Structure 1
Amino acid sequence: MTVFVTIVAGLIILIMSLHFSFPYLMHDLQYIFTILKIRSKRLKYKENHYTVLGCFLDRVKTEPEKTFIVFEGKKYSYLDADKQSNKAARALEMHARLKGGDTAALLLGNEPHFVWIWLGLAKLGCVSAMLNYNIRSKSLLHCLLCCEVKVLIAAAELKDAVEEILPTLKEQNIAVFILGAECDTVGVETLSDKIDQASEEPLSPDLWSNVTMGSPAIYIFTSGTTGLPKAALVSQYKLWAATFFPAVSGVNCRDVIYVTLPLYHSSGLIIGLSGAIERGTTIVLKRKFSASQFWEDCRKYNVTVMLYIGEIMRYICNTPKTENDRDHKLRLAIGNGIRPDVWREFVNRFGCIAIKEFYAATDGNMSFVNYVGKIGAVGRVNFYHRKVFPYALIKYDIARDEPVRDSNGLCIEVPKGETGLFVSKITNLAPFDGYANNPHQTEKKRLWNVFQKDDQYLNSGDLLRIDQDNFIYFQDRVGDTFRWKGENVATNEVSDILTMIDLIKEANVYGVQVPGHEGRIGMAAVILKEGKQFDCSKMFSHVATYLPAYARPCFVRIQNSLELTGTFKQIKVKLAQEGFNPTLIQDPLYFLDQRQMAYIMMTQELYDSIVSGNMRL
């Protein structure tokens, strides 16, 4: 008996010792065990070319009556989705003449038809290009052409955006369909009536029999330094692999997922929609996020899981407090970009909701997840990551916009606690698929000779930091892109739009930080053409016409000249650091006032109102 007690006591002491020495060991082991289990399943499916479509069709067979989508109070089962997608596929096959390998673009908002058409295209063996419905003109046209789109399917309310580029679409032989039953525009066909008339009978599997895990599945657009969106190629395997993220986060088949993020985003489409298919869950689909309706919807539809970006969590926390703040079934929130103070406020106010913050990119080749729940971190380092998916944080010269290299021409890894550029090794397990018809930008993302000659790493363009406890923190973005309202904004694209107006000669666009807000908001330093005055109303009208709300420069700074580097690149870092404080900047400053529909002169009173949070941006 004494020996037994001694052994038990020894084990207890050993466990306690391990806990104090390695407080996150159990979290690490549990996470790695989950990853290995999923990876085994994923590799098995990869060998059999088991795609998201294959998984969906299995759901239809095994759980046909289970609710798949809830939208504006109406429920659609997995079988309903199957039948509707059959109708969409048949209509597109007959009237758009689509066949396996063709690409069709979706310019649609969050609605069930988006899902039916996406699944229908997959049943034809086609690739879907997911267009941001906020883009217009040159950017929209570029997205269509770079993917070699054969067909454009647009929402009825976006007909004006389509008509603006219709002549070029005709020249390129791109068929255009409006999701409506009526349309009086020459060269544009209706689609809703054709879908309604089509058969709901299953299609032959032969239509997608040539699709392999290496085949393109979707294109998702990401802004870059070129000034125009880039079409990130997402293969069938990468799409399928990413759908397991909800499983890693703890989502199960009994959950109800609330999806308000746009389906053209990776989070909405891959983690939300595709992830729900993999888990066999129900999703509540919303046209757009509404803070005032959020908890009402959660209670009404018994929501247990939500997707978020940082701004969404802040909006929820800004709603008036009520007695039933904790009266809900929400248990899990998955997303990125939440500030530590908002994180604390959210869980303190609304209850014990697990926040699964993650770090990932559509065009990236690896990701992190904060599976421990450490407030502020975007992920955690463990030996599995370092072994299977090699990566590093390297020294980066922000002013020169390039990695720092040693005397041998190799990159230098930063020590723990220091900020560095995140790079991940390109391997068979972590491939980089690149961008559609854009070899220059594809190659630009590759970083060669990082730690040894001829090795290849992917340049994330993000600055991260790893602390002494192996938690990862996002610090900032490098290059010519900033993030605002959950959207990436390419500064060169905005500059091109600004110089279209006849009063601006040059424009340098960058993001500036505003207290209490995630990301950076747009600001432009501009040079006026000789003899021109800054026209506040005309400037507002121009940006409102050509730019989505999140990309419009909130502040404009009038300068006599723009400072350039030795290689004639515009200097943004110094301008971003100077911000928009009128007491520190002698140049004329203007603020975009939505109420007056004009740019107005920036005053100290207005500045104080913005930084205090009284002025809503």
Structure 2
Amino acid sequence: MSKNNQISLNRFVYQLPSIAKKLPKMLQGLIITQNSNAKSETGLGWAVEKAAKHNPNGMAVLYQDCRISYQEFNRWANQLANYFLSLGFQKGDVVALLMENRPELLVVVAGLAKIGVVSALINTSQSGRVLEHSINLVKPKAAIVGQEMYDVFVESQQSLELAGNAIYWVADVDTRSDTGCEPQNTQNLMNIIKNAAQYNPVTTNTICGHDGLFFIYTSGTTGLPKAAIFNHARFMKAYGGFGYTLQLDKNDIIYVTLPLYHATGMVVCWGSALAGYSGIALRRKFSASAFWKDVTEFQATAFGYVGELCRYLLDTPPSSYDRNHQLTKMIGNGLRPNIWMEFKQRFGVKQVMEFYASSEGNIGFSNVFNFDNTMGFSPMPYAVVKYDEVAGEPIRNKQGYMIPVKRNEVGLLIGKITKRTPFDGYTDASKSQSSILNDVFKKGDRYFNTGDLVKNIGFRHTQFVDRTGDTFRWKGENVSTTEVENIISSLPFVQDAVVYGVEIPGTNGRAGMVAITPTIGEVVDSMRLSVLLNHLKSNLPRYAIPIFVRIRQNTETTATFKYQKHNLKQEAFNPTKVDSDQLFALLPKATQYCHISIETYDAIYHGRYRF
């Protein structure tokens, strides 16, 4: 990073006049984020009702040809809330949601939020054992499944701890006019609620900040997905912090192609829209070729992003849509410094609201001052400490305390656990404890380990560098190496599987790579690689399937039997560094792994393949 990206006091003060007009509303937002009054009106349901009151005829949700006003949306959510209230659902109950981006998903979430029911936002890339684990983990009272996900759900249904009459089905059409014909042994939710009361339920005003709102799933650092608890207070932090800084208004539309089972789409983007009584325009899944056309047709003025999405847009051929739009703002995370300015200049973006947060974490950063190449500023108590990547742990001094990094140095980001920045944790208490660092700078202090390496660029600003340990990020998703290792190791010809992330020049994040040690007497040939790939496709989402495979004779471990990943990451998929080990790659659009020759490596390294 250039020293020009460092934030000094002079640069900070120089930037203040450009945001002077925004400061009053930003301060209002700050008050909302700091509200700890348990009796005050709060939460997602309250935010929906407030927007419906102040902008009843304004657009709340846009999707394909659907245009739904705030008044219509609120009444629809009320029907769902009042129906589930009539069944006896109450605060703290959990409902599993398995549905792709569309208005019905937001209606269900809003309706359940009004009565204090927690929505478990299931990742729609999941299937099989992972899906079963994610649903059973939160012990739902019911499941609501979109038609588009029903076949995947049925394959796992016998392993789910759900009553047969607790499965609700939602047709994959505009269900305001056509509720569809449900499969046997399911209930047609949108048909059932048609005659339910449309008034605001009294329960909305009983929601407190500490009440649960979502379970959002995170790979964390080990094993199967963990369900991170996300309460209404955290939603209001995003509502006030991001919404009152991005400052959308009644005339604005934010375009969202990010999956709504992730906090960036569901909390940051939707929260920002609700804060401005603005509309949210949805697309089922991201399409680079259709992106700017959609932006133009929806008349969107902002969009939500992750870094990989931005790179895909830059890879598209120039077109008349690049600047023929009203969009000037973007909010998200992972926009890399090497494409930051190019993206802004090509597409005419004036404000990049880069932020940093995690579903389970207790601190956040946001680019409130609109600097370039930073994940932003944080007023919360945090530290960046020296980290030993080989040992996989923070470095401590002779007194046993951690060591803060200096300006322009990289270290581990940790967030201090206080009353105002609590760590809500996971459903599994033991996993929560493993994320806490004790006696960091003095006896008795406690910090949350984010697992992220960042660069300290000064004046409480940081720049994201990488993930640590046993999780890496690819295609905007966290990949748990332990989960992938367990699935590969279940094959009879695999003795050991070590999974890690490696860099591919010109891409964001880390691509998956696995070093396989075959069972004694076995040879991993093309037939075995074909079996491996089919096994991976059946058990993992596409983003978690390793791009590279390394076949080796022995597995190196530490004295405590942890895999030695440091050297593997350094050697990556370079055939000149792996001695006699064989290397294979799953090239774009390929249906099988192919051998990596020097020529293949060269082509990958110089960007002739687009991963």
TM-score when scaled to structure 2? 0.91
Partner of 1:348: 345
Q: Is the 8 A contact 1:511 1:521 kept in 2?
A: yes
The 1:305/1:103 distance shift into structure 2, 3 A limit, reads: same
One-letter code aligned to 1:269: M
- SS of 2:217 mapped into structure 1: strand
1:440 Cα deviation (Å)?
Answer: 0.9
Q: Is the 8 A contact 2:80 2:196 kept in 1?
A: no
Separation in 2, partners of 1:164, 1:264:
21
1:303 Cα deviation (Å)?
Answer: 1.0
Q: Which runs of 5+ in 1 are unaligned?
A: 1-18
Separation in 1, partners of 2:313, 2:115:
41
Q: Is the 8 A contact 2:44 2:113 kept in 1?
A: no
Query: How big is each residue's C-alpha offset from its partner over 1:94-135, in whole Å with a ceiling of 9 and x where there is no partner?
Result: 6x7533321001111000110111111123321111111101
Partner of 2:560: 567
Q: Structure 1 residue 59 and structure 2 residue 46: aligned?
A: no
1:443 Cα deviation (Å)?
Answer: 0.9
Q: Structure 1 residue 72 and structure 2 residue 64: aligned?
A: yes
Q: Structure 1 residue 194 and structure 2 residue 192: aligned?
A: yes
Q: Structure 1 residue 111 and structure 2 residue 65: aligned?
A: no
The 1:593/1:235 distance shift into structure 2, 3 A limit, reads: same
Separation in 2, partners of 1:410, 1:174:
55
Larger of the two Rg values belongs to structure: 1
Q: Is the 8 A contact 1:591 1:599 kept in 2?
A: yes
Q: Structure 1 residue 332 and structure 2 residue 329: aligned?
A: yes
- SS of 1:149 mapped into structure 2: coil
Partner of 1:603: 597
1:168 Cα deviation (Å)?
Answer: 2.2
Alignment map for 1:42-441 (pairs within 5 Å): 42-43=33-34, 46=37, 47-93=39-85, 98-170=89-161, 175-180=166-171, 181-184=180-183, 187-195=185-193, 197-202=194-199, 204-205=201-202, 207-208=203-204, 210-244=206-240, 245-323=242-320, 325-380=322-377, 385=379, 389-436=380-427, 438-441=428-431
1:201 Cα deviation (Å)?
Answer: 2.3
Q: Which runs of 5+ in 2 are unaligned?
A: 1-6, 172-179
Partner of 2:174: none
Partner of 2:585: 591
Q: Is the 8 A contact 1:541 1:598 kept in 2?
A: no
Partner of 1:37: 28
- SS of 1:598 mapped into structure 2: coil
Separation in 2, partners of 1:558, 1:41:
54
Alignment map for 1:522-541 (pairs within 5 Å): 522-534=512-524, 535-541=528-534
Query: How big is each residue's C-alpha offset from its partner over 1:481-533, in whole Å with a ceiling of 9 and x where there is no partner?
Result: 00001000000001111122222221110000000000000000011123333
Note the aligned Cα RMSD (angstroms). 2.3
Q: Structure 1 residue 462 and structure 2 residue 452: aligned?
A: yes
Query: How big is each residue's C-alpha offset from its partner over 1:238-297, in whole Å with a ceiling of 9 and x where there is no partner?
Result: 111112213223433332111111111111001111221122101111111111111111
Partner of 1:488: 478
Q: Structure 1 residue 616 and structure 2 residue 610: aligned?
A: yes
One-letter code aligned to 1:223: S
One-letter code aligned to 1:24: F
Q: Is the 8 A contact 1:150 1:173 kept in 2?
A: no
One-letter code aligned to 1:298: V
1:590 Cα deviation (Å)?
Answer: 1.2
- SS of 2:512 mapped into structure 1: strand
Q: Is the 8 A contact 1:220 1:231 kept in 2?
A: yes
- SS of 1:85 mapped into structure 2: helix
Q: Is the 8 A contact 1:152 1:174 kept in 2?
A: no
TM-score when scaled to structure 1? 0.90
Query: How big is each residue's C-alpha offset from its partner over 1:428-487, in whole Å with a ceiling of 9 and x where there is no partner?
Result: 111111112x11111111111011100111111111111356641111111100000100
Q: Is the 8 A contact 1:90 1:198 kept in 2?
A: no
Separation in 1, partners of 2:201, 2:15:
46
1:227 Cα deviation (Å)?
Answer: 1.3
The 1:61/1:595 distance shift into structure 2, 3 A limit, reads: closer
1:59 Cα deviation (Å)?
Answer: 2.0
Judge which range, 591-600 or 291-300, deviates more. Answer: 591-600
Q: Structure 1 residue 546 and structure 2 residue 534: aligned?
A: no
Separation in 2, partners of 1:28, 1:455:
34
- SS of 2:303 mapped into structure 1: strand
Separation in 2, partners of 1:20, 1:214:
37
Partner of 1:498: 488
One-letter code aligned to 1:302: Q
One-letter code aligned to 1:130: L
Q: Which has the higher contact order (CA 8 A, sep 6+)?
A: 2
- SS of 1:467 mapped into structure 2: strand
Q: Is the 8 A contact 1:149 1:174 kept in 2?
A: no
1:581 Cα deviation (Å)?
Answer: 1.3
Paired residues in the alignment total 588
Q: Quick one: percent identity of the two aligned structures?
A: 34
The 1:392/1:321 distance shift into structure 2, 3 A limit, reads: same
